[in-house]
Amino acid sequence: MSTVVYCGQQTEQMSFAALLEARSGMLWARRQAARELGEATARAYDTDIAEVDGELRERSRRATERARAVLRPGDRICFTVCCEQRRHVVMTGWDGDWIASATKNDIHASSIYKVNGKPTSFLGDPVA
């Protein structure tokens, strides 16, 4: 896999949130290029976008593995949802690769920032 550089920084060195933002920026730039310069020129962005998608998938997979090793039913987890809103639930188990609670079954390990009141990140990013 080749190294993608976005805004002067290698994607392997970027946080998960920064990588998501980079992907969004790349998609926007591709749409602009397609509109202004044509589809053939816009295809140049596809390789970089695919590389970033692969990096995001790999980080998500590793986060799920780390969470499976640590989380147990009954753990109180805090996580973010759309627009950085914060939620907290008590974990009841796993639903495939998703964490389940009494009210949700679509919590991903990459969105967790606290477990039982302690700051946590399963992404490998530094805990803020």
Coil, strand or helix: which one is 59? helix
Do β-strands 118-119 and 5-6 pair in parallel, antiparallel, or remain unpaired? unpaired
Radius of gyration of the chain (CA): 17
| Residues 43-64 pLDDT 10s | 777 877 888 888 888 888 999 9
Burial level of 3, CB count in 10 A (0-12/13-18/19+)? exposed
Find out whether 110 and 59 touch, Cβ atoms under 8 Å.
yes
Coil, strand or helix: which one is 71? coil
Beta bridge partners of 84: none
Q: Is the pLDDT of residue 5 over 60?
A: no
The total domain count for the chain is: 2
What pLDDT score does 75 carry? 97
Find out whether 19 and 58 touch, Cβ atoms under 8 Å.
no
What pLDDT score does 125 carry? 58
Do 54 and 18 have their domain in common? yes
Band (pLDDT 50/70/90 cuts) for residue 20 is confident
User: Which residue segment(s) compose the domain that 107 sits in?
Assistant: 72-119
* The amino acid at 111: S
pTM of the shown model: 0.69
- Does a structural domain hold residue 88? yes
- Does a structural domain hold residue 126? no
- Does a structural domain hold residue 125? no
Do 14 and 61 have their domain in common? yes
When mean pLDDT is compared across 24-33, 86-95, 97-106, the lowest value belongs to: 24-33
Band (pLDDT 50/70/90 cuts) for residue 13 is low
Find out whether 4 and 18 touch, Cβ atoms under 8 Å.
no
Give all strands (DSSP E) within 15-117, no chain letters. Answer: 76-81, 85-95, 98-101, 112-115
- Does a structural domain hold residue 94? yes
